[in-house]
Structure 1
């Protein structure tokens, strides 16, 4: 089996790497802090001393770090070290243009790259039920697919490099917008003297339901979504950057903004009434 490398062992990347290892793939990992990799090492993964060492050792490398700068920093060290014919898979959610630029650099070294951001969180990764949204050449996608299937329930190729990122930021902007609309709907219910819990149960069983509504309805206050909110802020911003003059992108941002402001303690947070 191809040796797989994985960089980015956070709350989502760690379980993804663990699923790859459990499926029987030889796995090499790298982490800025060595203690982060200790659990995977105890289960049989090799721990590289550097990104370049990992790249030289692996045929397929998954990258699941936080933002564009982190992805660029990792790939700056990874690309020169990897063999021609190997594959880089970007699981981070970043600008489509970031992945397109990296794909051009990879091509000059005979390396394939696909973007493959994921949806489903750490729990989905651990259960092997993530959704993976991919952009890239069909043959590179086919080569990556067996590894992706170790942690995913649905894997979709949406187009050339960058298409996976475009799909992910639309999906996450819609989630944020649905949570913003859920906040508005429950505030309207309060103004109409409706029992909040009963209204939430009703909507969850009726035509107004959405995953975003269900998540919001469980929150005592938007601030209780403080861990996830910055990532949604980032993804709504990515959509706005990618489509600065698009009415659809602006409508999603406008719907999401009151909830995200409340969740992150922004300027509109004090206007929220639980």
Structure 2
């Protein structure tokens, strides 16, 4: 049976996901607040809906990749009443797990499934169809949605019920933040000992101390150049603390490893 898809949230990551779905042969309907966000899809077979409700009425599967919890709630509150029974909403945003669970309860009353489906890999992986998907939700709904997910995902893992995907994404992003923080300390130690940064990075990336966090930190001229990314990671670390509890040893360890770097990155350049 053909699956008609919808997509909302055509940003740096959501845009490539939507294009992969379109190029994968799924009839796709798009909606965006700003008309200019739809311009890149004029050369495709995608249709454009005038409203979120119009999109929801046409789609069996809707991907949502908007910025924050409030945006996810506002979009889904308009989608859920418009969708047919058996429809699926895949939330690709990184949000609080309880946001997804609350929407799932509302959607279930109308026979609509919610899948929390945050992704890892960024825009390059989305364009290559190589994202990692961390899924939480009904197993049968995920099985039905899998052909859509396979257009943009390489590793697709169901971790449990709704909320489990967000749990995994918060752990992943907190670990990334901690690894960047530790890499920052390692490079600072090298500087104090008179080791050239480029040589140390090359050595560490070929040794047992290597990490993606080190790769990310090594590309920065200074922490403040990562201010936007740091703000997103700090939000995710905070959410992990809300989920685990502020005194939980796993959270404290990850938070403390990340805190100094994130704070410096968000502080802006030093005043002259």
Gaps of 5+ in 2: none
Say whether the 8 Å CA contact 1:41–1:47 is kept in structure 2. Answer: no
Q: Residue 110 of structure 1 aligns with which residue?
A: 111
The DSSP-based 3-state class of the residue aligned with 1:153 is strand
Mapping of 1:215-254 within 5 angstroms?
215-244=216-245, 245-254=247-256
Deviation at 1:263, TM superposition (A): 1.6
Matched, 1:156 2:157: yes
CA shift digits 1:186-229 (9 cap, x unpaired): 11111122222111111010001100111111111112223322
Q: Name structure 1 gaps, 5 residues minimum.
A: none
3-state DSSP class of the match of 1:186? helix
Q: What is residue 52 of structure 1 aligned with on the other side?
A: 53
1:129 matched residue in structure 2: 130
When normalised by structure 2's length, the TM-score is: 0.96
Q: How does 1:39-118 map to 2 (within 5 A)?
A: 39-118=40-119
Deviations 1:152-198 (A, max 9, x none): 11000000100000000000000010000000011111112222211
Any idea what SS the aligned residue of 2:89 has?
Answer: strand
The Cα shift of 1:14 comes to 0.2
Displacement of 1:41 = 3.1
The TM-score with structure 1 as length reference comes to 0.95
Looking at structure 2, the residues matched to 122 and 254 of structure 1 have their Cα atoms a distance apart, in angstroms, of 29
Aligned residues: CA RMSD: 1.1
Where has structure 1 moved over 6 Å in runs of 4 or more? none
Q: How many residues align?
A: 268
Matched, 1:265 2:267: yes
Most deviating of 35-44 and 214-223: 35-44
Counterpart-to-counterpart distance in 2, 1:16 and 1:206: 34
